[in-house]
Amino acid sequence: MSNTASTAVRATRKKDSPVTLVEVSPRDGLPEVCHGLSTEDNINYINKLSETGLKKIECASFIHPRLMPEGYDAEKL
């Protein structure tokens, strides 16, 4: 990050302002790495992530299965 950019970030963010972490691996990473993962395995993975204390987990994208076959079970998740 350039010095100007980091200064701009520091200038716009308050010292004690909260930061939100969003886990997106069930939506973006897992389907690409684990082709053919069952819906049950996806649900188990998401449940394990939730046990870590994560407050926001993005589980699926609603994309036509023709474009992304790994997303066939988005409604079930």
**Tens of each residue's pLDDT in the chain, 77 residues:** 555 555 555 556 677 888 888 888 888 777 667 777 788 988 999 999 999 999 999 988 887 878 877 777 888 87
Check residue 19 and give its pLDDT. 83
Three-class DSSP category at 57: strand
Task: Considering only CA atoms, give the Rg of the chain.
Answer: 17
Check residue 53 and give its pLDDT. 92
- Report phi then psi at 66, rounded to 5: -65, -35
Answer whether 47's CB lies under 8 Å from 39's CB.
no
Check residue 37 and give its pLDDT. 79
Q: Tell me, yes or no, if the pTM score tops 0.85.
A: no
